[in-house]
Amino acid sequence: MLERLKEIWLDAKQMRDERGLTLIELLVVVVILGIIAAIAVVAIGGLIENSRKDAVVSDAKQLVAAAKLYTSSNPIQPGETIKLGIKDNGNDIKEKAAVTTGTAAPREDSLAKYIDEMKDSLNSDKSYKSSYVVVKESQGKYTYTVTLLSDKASNTYFDGVASSALKRSTIEVN
Amino acid letter, 35: I
β-strand partners of 120: 126
Report residue 123: phi and psi, to 5°: -140, 60
Per-residue pLDDT tens for 73-112? 888 888 889 999 998 888 888 887 555 555 455 688 889 8
Of 116, 166, 168, the C-alpha closest to 145 is 166
Q: What is the mean pLDDT of the chain?
A: 85
As a whole number of angstroms, the distance between CA 159 and CA 149 comes to 7
Range of weakest confidence among 1-10, 31-40, 69-78, 162-171: 1-10
pLDDT of residue 60: 92
Question: Rounded to an integer, what distance in angstroms lies between the CA atom of residue 174 and that of residue 172?
Answer: 7
Q: Is 162 within 8 Å of 141 (Cβ atoms)?
A: no
For residue 113, which amino acid is it?
K
For residue 78, which phi and psi values (nearest 5 degrees)?
A: -55, 130
